[in-house]
Amino acid sequence: MALFVPKIDHIGKQSYSAPDLYVANPKQTVIGSFTSIGSRVRIGHGTHPQDYLSTSPYLYLDRLEYKTSQTPSHNEWEELAPVWIGSDVWIGDEVLIKNGVTIGHGAIIGAKSLVTKDVPPYAVVVGVPAKILRYRFAPEIIKKLLKLKWWSLPNYQIKQIPYDDVAAAIQKMEEFRNK
């Protein structure tokens, strides 16, 4: 499988996506380091007014040049709130992430999930809409990992961390941070 670096302005080191990633607001969306994004993922989507006569943007957006100059403009509906995705996040295939959502560090988003609300750090969420299934680690481990922020260490230190043993990894990161 080919890996691609998403074409967004704010992306951390070693993050990638599989093919066919769509980011609605690439100038303001943030993706942290070491984040893995599956195929056919969509980050950020437009929204439409639900209490107007119609939801069609032709009736309220100036740039579509359909409405008359006397018709009120509501160009604010075109603004897309940025999405913030932390470091060490895994986003499965065909996930949809709505505007303005924050996905915490270490989270996992199950394939084909619809993320409409913020996802806490190290949560595993699945479904439509996405709901917390469980957490990857116990609360005290999550607290330590968030404090240590392994992804912000220099690459030569990151490469020395024993990733297959979380307790040993935390110990090694604490050694690095205390030097």
Nearest alpha carbon to residue 109 among 25, 16, 36:
36
Domains (range + CATH), the chain: 10-45+80-136 (2.160.10.10), 137-179 (no CATH)
pLDDT for the residue 30: 95
Averaged over successive runs of 10 residues, the pLDDT of the chain (179 residues) comes to: 70 90 90 96 86 84 84 79 95 96 98 98 98 98 96 94 94 89
pLDDT for the residue 76: 75
Beta carbons within 8 Å of 16's beta carbon, 6+ residues apart:
3, 4, 5, 6, 35, 36, 37
Catalytic residue list: 48
The pair phi, psi for residue 31, each rounded to 5°, is -125, 125
pTM over 0.95: no
pLDDT for the residue 177: 86
Q: Which amino acid type is present at position 77?
A: W
pLDDT for the residue 8: 76
